[in-house]
Structure 1
Amino acid sequence: MTALVAARRDLLAPERFLRAFACATVALAPIEGYLLAVHGQLAKLAPGLLALTWVAIRVRDREWPKPHPVHALLALFAVVVLVSAGVHAAEPFALEYTQRWLPFLLVTAILVDVASREVPIRALLVSAVAGAAVAGAGALYSLVAGGESRASGPLDDPNDLAHVLVAALPLVLPIVAARRGPVPVLALLAGAVLVAGAAATFSRGGGIALGAAVLWLVARRVLSLRVLAAAVGVLAVLALGGAVVAQQELERALQEKSFIASTNVDTRELRWQAAARILTENPVFGVGPGGFRAEYPAFSHNAEVDEQTPVAHNMYLEVAAELGVPGFLLFAALIGTAALASERALRAGADRTQMVAVQASLLATAVASTFLSEQYYLPLWLMIAVACAAELRTGSGSARPARDQ
């Protein structure tokens, strides 16, 4: 009876809920579009429960989060966002985009803490792959059954979907390398879905990001050339088979993509130039969160009559234009801190395949964001959190190592 009561208490322990909510937050992020289609607030449920459970546990235990330099950067960046939003409070998108920024910063801080203590990093990586695989399956469904020329699945923009899928792909490697039960086999199947879904988007930026991630994995000797060649061969055979079965649909998609690609080059150049002008004239506070969309017509001299409120399609220029030089420097410091933290964790004894995969995912996001505005998607923030948590777990950061590696 005593053992039964103890098991029941363990099942209902707040730490179990914390792990479940953390994994749910990561897994559901790639399919946010499907959740929003059901209810406008459903996508906020898992992060909200994660935050409430985290606060309750830390208050109960009277413990502060494990300190890491990334916490200070996140706090300073939040201050910059709030100050810039306050200066430009009259802008039409300021409140909306401030409400986008702050949850990502809070969730990142929470994930750094819980991934360094209660939640195994592997569980978060498995959740990221699982959620992205569902999004990839949705992408293929939208292409085959939905009749779309470019797969979009749960996201409106195929390029954004390609980024989410490509960022998750390197994380398959440490799951397969662990060789625990049926999970590696499922991870391989998920990897195939991620590749197929990303290919179905016909995203050039996604392809470049994938190439950068693969080169990193090969250079760090986590992915062997033999395995890479075998994977490419299998994918080539599958792609050839798909091209034979759906030749007409493929030709139509390629024609549409060719037309869109030439247009995208011109529009991106216009938007990048406008972002540079905005930054030049507003170097301190920028034009506020979401301000690029409001100010684009004026700074581009109304270059796109049919598109008055676009994004910059370059994460770095958009952040700089909206939050000024201080905001851009802090944002770059967050990414740089994560890269350094992952390398320090690797040298301090963290799982090599896992850390190099995290680096490859972060690199893929950084490369894709040269052509896309990806600051409002979780892959970037998850990799920042995981890298810094791994450093704390190895004890190479400013805290003692965690027992649950």
Structure 2
Amino acid sequence: MTTFAVVRPALRETREAALLRVLACATVAFAPVEGYLTAVQSQLGKVAPAVLTLTWLAVRIRQRRLPHPTPLHAVLALLAVVLAATAAVHSAGEFTAEYTVRWLPFLVVTAALADVASREVPIRRLLLAATAGATAAGAGALFSLVVGGEARASGPQPDPNDLAYFLVAAVPLLAALNRRGLSSRNRRGLVFTVAGVVLVAGATATFSRGGALGLTAAVGWLLLRRVMPWRVLGSAAAAAAGLGLAALLFAGPQLDRALQEKSFIAASNVDTRELRWQAAARMLTAHPVLGVGPGGFREHYAAESHDAEVDEQTPVAHNMYLEVAAELGLPGFALFAGVLATAAVASERTVRRAGPGPRRTEAIAIQASLLAVVVTSTFLSEQYYLPLWSLAALAVAAETRIRREGEGSADAGAARDQ
């Protein structure tokens, strides 16, 4: 009877941990292909994060266990307070309710991922899930380009630039998943080589300049921290050159049309983004404390720009930092930047504590992905997409795990000494 009383709770905890692992992996894997899910049903893409959040809350309540406190949780809580305050002040705004509802789930899911990744879900599994989802999106991008006849690959995302954001953020994670390099001759190396080719080719097919800069920054960081060998970079460059030559030979007219369209769009984007950035700066200057409210940039853009874009009255700023600052004010922007800063500090602590090995590689790969996100978001409004938030959660969770293991080793050593 006593044995049964002990085994039953243990079995329940095992099942709960397994469920949290599945839901957490599904959340990060489905994010890049959410467009395909919403094409089936408009809310289908939100199912996995919603169920993860509810399950996480139910499990922690049953366990009577609070999430492991981290600076990230404090920053998220304060950001939620500022978000609620500015939403209340601008409650009559046309887009306030819609964008407040878009913000809040990311804050909650980030807190949940940071907690479950520090306890139930191995970091590597989440990195693998994120890469798998992005690879599927990259395959969809190439399909839309080759079969669908699109001038710029978009796949599961309406905007090719947003697709590039997902693909570029996933590329550095391959370094953590295959420490021997993408050119390894074993079966695993072959799988990751194919995934890397799909991601890079898909990102290239979007013709996104921001994505190209983000990928360059991420690869440079991996080389600087000696996670990606130069021979791997050389192999990747040779593969990219081969793909480019094949595209030129077999799809020359289509490629030429895509380049012409991109050149025309690029020239237009320079002017429109300058207009939008100036408008966002004026909104921030006029409302520095609580901004113009969630979604307020779209609402006030036409007035602030003096109808500079007649055919686009409610656009996004195409700069994540200016848009967040204009809508949430300086306190909100400081807390938003605090999410990135907390992740950067946590990942660097993990690198220094881990020493040579997979933990260090994972932490540097997360850093490189965050760097790609930071650079790409200079030209895009990406605060409403998961990579930024999930990478911050994983960076903090990795540091929590390694610190907890260090404390456990110290306690064991003290016990032996006694």
| TM superposition score category, shorter chain reference | over 0.9
2:177 is the counterpart of 1:169? no
* CA distance in structure 1 between the partners assigned to 2:82 and 2:327 by the alignment: 11
Superposed CA RMSD: 2.2
Aligned 8 A contact 2:350 2:360 in 1: no
What is the Cα deviation at residue 326 of structure 1? 0.4
* CA distance in structure 2 between the partners assigned to 1:262 and 1:345 by the alignment: 43
- Among candidates 232, 239, 248, match of residue 234 of structure 1: 239
Q: Secondary structure at the match of 2:354?
A: coil
User: Which blocks of at least 5 consecutive residues in structure 1 are unaligned?
Assistant: none
2:208 is the counterpart of 1:203? yes
Aligned CA distance change for structure 1 residues 95 and 165 (closer, same or farther; 3 Å): same
> 1:271 maps to what in 2?
276
* CA distance in structure 1 between the partners assigned to 2:272 and 2:82 by the alignment: 29
What is the Cα deviation at residue 88 of structure 1? 0.4
What is the Cα deviation at residue 30 of structure 1? 0.5
Name the TM-score, length of structure 1 as normaliser: 0.94
> 1:347 maps to what in 2?
352
What is the Cα deviation at residue 41 of structure 1? 1.2
Aligned 8 A contact 1:108 1:381 in 2: yes
2:285 is the counterpart of 1:280? yes
* CA distance in structure 2 between the partners assigned to 1:225 and 1:56 by the alignment: 47
2:298 is the counterpart of 1:293? yes
User: Which blocks of at least 5 consecutive residues in structure 2 are unaligned?
Assistant: 410-418
Stretch moving more, 361-370 or 168-177: 168-177
Aligned CA distance change for structure 1 residues 335 and 12 (closer, same or farther; 3 Å): closer
* CA distance in structure 2 between the partners assigned to 1:122 and 1:94 by the alignment: 37
Identical residues among aligned pairs (%):
61
Stretch moving more, 46-55 or 18-27: 46-55
Aligned 8 A contact 1:344 1:396 in 2: no
Aligned CA distance change for structure 1 residues 63 and 400 (closer, same or farther; 3 Å): farther
What is the Cα deviation at residue 188 of structure 1? 2.2
Letter of the 2:62 partner, please give it.
R
2:51 is the counterpart of 1:29? no
2:370 is the counterpart of 1:362? yes
Aligned CA distance change for structure 1 residues 390 and 260 (closer, same or farther; 3 Å): same
In the TM superposition, what are the counterparts of 1:34-113 in structure 2 within 5 Å? Answer: 34-113=36-115
Aligned CA distance change for structure 1 residues 30 and 326 (closer, same or farther; 3 Å): same
Deviations 1:77-129 (A, max 9, x none): 01111111110011111011001100000000000000000000000000000
Stretch moving more, 164-173 or 177-186: 177-186
Letter of the 2:400 partner, please give it.
L
* CA distance in structure 2 between the partners assigned to 1:340 and 1:269 by the alignment: 32
Aligned 8 A contact 2:96 2:293 in 1: yes
Letter of the 2:224 partner, please give it.
A
Stretch moving more, 341-350 or 317-326: 341-350
Structure number with bigger Rg? 2
What is the Cα deviation at residue 44 of structure 1? 1.3
* CA distance in structure 2 between the partners assigned to 1:16 and 1:178 by the alignment: 29
Aligned CA distance change for structure 1 residues 167 and 400 (closer, same or farther; 3 Å): farther
Q: Secondary structure at the match of 1:135?
A: helix
What is the Cα deviation at residue 289 of structure 1? 0.4
Letter of the 1:380 partner, please give it.
L
Q: Secondary structure at the match of 1:241?
A: helix
Q: Which runs of 4+ in 1 moved over 4 A?
A: 8-12, 178-184, 396-401
Name the TM-score, length of structure 2 as normaliser: 0.91
What is the Cα deviation at residue 62 of structure 1? 1.0
| Number of aligned positions between the proteins | 398
* CA distance in structure 1 between the partners assigned to 2:373 and 2:58 by the alignment: 33
Deviations 1:290-335 (A, max 9, x none): 1000000000111000000000000000000000000010111110
* CA distance in structure 1 between the partners assigned to 2:318 and 2:68 by the alignment: 35
- Among candidates 17, 20, 24, match of residue 19 of structure 2: 17
Letter of the 1:232 partner, please give it.
A
What is the Cα deviation at residue 284 of structure 1? 0.6
